[in-house]
Amino acid sequence: MTEFLQQLLNGISLGAIYALIALGYTMVYGVLRFINFAHSDVFMIGSYVGWFALQRFQFQQPSFLGGITVLTLDMAVCALLGVLIEKLAYKPLRNRSTLTVLITAIGVSLLIQNLAQNQKFGFGPNPKAFPPLFPSKQLQFGDLTLSTNQLAVPIVTLGLLAILYWIVHCTRTGTAMRALSFNATAASLVGINNDRIISFTFALGSSLAGAGGVLYAMNYPSIDPLMGTMPGLKAFVAAVLGGIGNLPGAALGGVLIGLVETFVSGTRLSTFRDAIAFAILIAILLFRPAGLLGKLKVEKV
């Protein structure tokens, strides 16, 4: 029972990070209808930005306020990076075929990964140790051991989700975002500046990925330039599982994938855990292509 609870908490903690990344995939898919492959690398850059910030400020003691500052800074940098990628690589490709954009996205992803791996321009291929972000403490509930770091992930995620919900549902920009994902042409007809909203969407999604990167590095404190690929792919699976284009779906999918992965890791099948997410993806696409919370659209000819 204790082990079950422990794994449950680990799973939720991991799932929350997947959820943060998945939201970025889902939002971009909502407005542009393509998979932003470079998203997982924004996540990776996010951890590195956090690492640099922590090195630079040289906090004597990891403090709560310091952690929040690093997180905020990190989100801002990642938002900028997201917008930059969008402006340079994707904007010239509006109205081109999905395949062209998809291949470009893969190219951008490879470029970021390999630049990051480069010793001269990037961070070098060797993993780096991530310093503690928040003051951490072990809490003991009977047999159950909790680290505050593990609790911090779902809490920060919930906070960010609340902010995201507020932006998407209670602000004009958010309304414009929803309008754009509903019907791009109609949105521009009623005076929405589509390009601006798309950039904003990228900023929003990338900042969440950045936050995810820092939180991930906090729990698994070794970062390297290729760390984004697997979490990125799994987060994408999470987005599809929840129904791509659907925000609550992405969050739900992320937590589910995190839970499944953690529980599989606890069994004899642990070496197959990277394959599990893809198996789920294939199953979901075959039996419920719209995802758990998505609505199936009928294609009209």
One residue of 102, 151, 168, 292 binding another protein per CB under 8 A:
102
Q: Alpha-carbon distance 178 to 169, whole Å? A: 8
How many C-beta atoms lie closer than 10 Å to residue 165's C-beta?
14
Q: Among 114, 136, 173, 194, indicate the residue that binds another protein (CB under 8 A).
A: 114
> Rounded distance, CA 48 to CA 290, Å?
35
Binding mask 277-296 for another protein (x = CB under 8 A): xxx-xx--xx--x-------
Cα 198–Cα 201–Cα 206 angle in degrees, nearest 5: 130
CB nearer to another protein: give 166 or 278: 278
Does 61 sit near another protein (CB under 8 A)?
Answer: no
Token pair 């905020």: residue: 72
Within 166-205, the residues that bind another protein by CB under 8 A are none
Interface residue with another protein among 12, 160, 218, 240 (CB under 8 A) is 240
Residue 104 makes contact with another protein by CB under 8 A: yes
Distances (CA, A) of 175 to 20, 146, 170, 207, 243: 21, 40, 7, 19, 20
Candidate residues 236, 241, 258, 262; the one interacting with another protein per rule CB under 8 A: 236
Total chain residues near another protein (CB under 8 A): 44
Query: Looking at beta carbons only, is 109 or 149 nearer to another protein?
Result: 109
Tell me if 30 sits within 8 A of 245, measured CB to CB: yes
Verify binding: residue 43, another protein, rule CB under 8 A: no
Task: For the chain, list the strands marked E by DSSP.
Answer: 128-129, 138-141, 144-147, 222-223
CB of 294 to another protein, least distance (A): 13
Run of H or E residues at 146: strand 144-147
Figure out which of the listed residues 2, 63, 118, 145 binds another protein, where binding follows CB under 8 A: 118
| Residue 103 C-beta: closest distance to another protein, Å | 5
Nearer to another protein, 73 or 235 (CB): 235
Q: Nearest approach, Cβ of 155 to another protein (angstroms)?
A: 31
Contact 236, 257 (CB under 8 A): no
Does position 64 interact with another protein (CB under 8 A)? The reply is: no
Cβ proximity of 169 and 177 under 8 Å: no
Residues 301, 299: Cα–Cα separation, whole Å? 7
Q: Which of 158, 208, 201, 204 is nearest to 178 (CA)?
A: 201
Q: Which residues bind another protein (CB under 8 A)?
A: 34-35, 89, 92-93, 96-100, 102-104, 106-111, 113-115, 117-119, 125, 229, 233, 236-237, 240, 271-272, 274-275, 277-279, 281-282, 285-286, 289, 301
